[in-house]
Amino acid sequence: MRLPDMTRPTADAVESRLTYTDGASRTVFATEVEVPFPEGRLIVSRTDLDGIITHANDAFVELSGWVRDELIGKPHHILRHPDMPKVAFKDLWNTVSEGKKWHGYVKNLRKDGSYYWVYATAVPNIRNGQIAGYTSVRRKPSRTRIDELIPVYRQWLEQEKEKIAS
Ligand SMILES: Cc1cc2nc3c(=O)[nH]c(=O)nc-3n(C[C@H](O)[C@H](O)[C@H](O)COP(=O)(O)O)c2cc1C
């Protein structure tokens, strides 16, 4: 599903062209503005088997910057930040599609180009013994772990870019 390009939010926003696993692509703009994870809240979304958002709780909607109707029915990659390496999501999908639980740190892009970090737990929803969809619950992330992961994600992203260029 093709998501519309973003419009440049501020003059200093960095422009990137993202290509998604389903072949769609769009232009996004990322700023250096971080929005802190809201204290005492859990951010929850559910998807179908293809990663299309089927449910978003109020905290998810508020932090994303979108309104609920703009999120429901859209691919979850609407939140993908250009600093996130693809390999992190490959690991998520490989794990949950095998029926297992995945944990990880994710930097998400808000509608206005700012970002927020989460510590996510994604699980498959099993109905009648079959995977019927997926749920992700996000908690407040550890700043120490974020600081450790920033250079790791940057290195993975560089490796992915080199692979595409070669
Ligand atoms: C339950 C669930 C929650 C997800 N949450 C996020 C998320 O918060 N941010 C994100 O960028 N991708 C999330 N993803 C992964 C996206 O589906 C997608 O794989 C990712 O954004 C990379 O885009 P692409 O695989 O379309 O290239 C989630 C997937 C599932 C199944």
Question: Is 77 touching ligand 1 by the criterion CB < 6 Å?
Answer: yes
In a domain, 161, yes or no: yes
Mutate to test the pocket of ligand 1, among 37, 92, 106, 157 (most ligand atoms within 8 A of CB): 92
What was the pLDDT predicted at 120?
98
In a domain, 70, yes or no: yes
Full domain range(s) for residue 91: 34-165
Q: What CATH number is attached to the domain comprising 96?
A: 3.30.450.20
pLDDT in tens, 103-159: 999 999 999 999 999 999 999 999 999 999 999 999 999 999 999 999 999 999 999
Residue 161 in this model has a pLDDT that exceeds 80: yes
In a domain, 24, yes or no: no
Helix, strand, coil percent content, the chain, rounded in steps of 5: 30, 35, 35
Q: Which amino acid is at 133?
A: G
> What distance, in Å, lies between the first and last C-alpha atoms of the chain?
28
* 8 A C-beta contact, residue 84 and residue 20: no
- Domain total of the chain: 1
Interval 84-97 mean pLDDT: 97
Question: Is 105 touching ligand 1 by the criterion CB < 6 Å?
Answer: no
In a domain, 56, yes or no: yes
Ligand 1 centre to CA of 9 (Å) is: 23
Question: Is 106 touching ligand 1 by the criterion CB < 6 Å?
Answer: yes
pLDDT in tens, 56-88: 999 999 999 999 999 999 999 999 999 999 999
pTM for the whole structure: 0.96
In a domain, 2, yes or no: no
In a domain, 104, yes or no: yes
In a domain, 5, yes or no: no
In a domain, 120, yes or no: yes
Ligand 1 centre to CA of 86 (Å) is: 10
Measure the CA–CA gap between 23 and 140, rounded to whole angstroms.
32
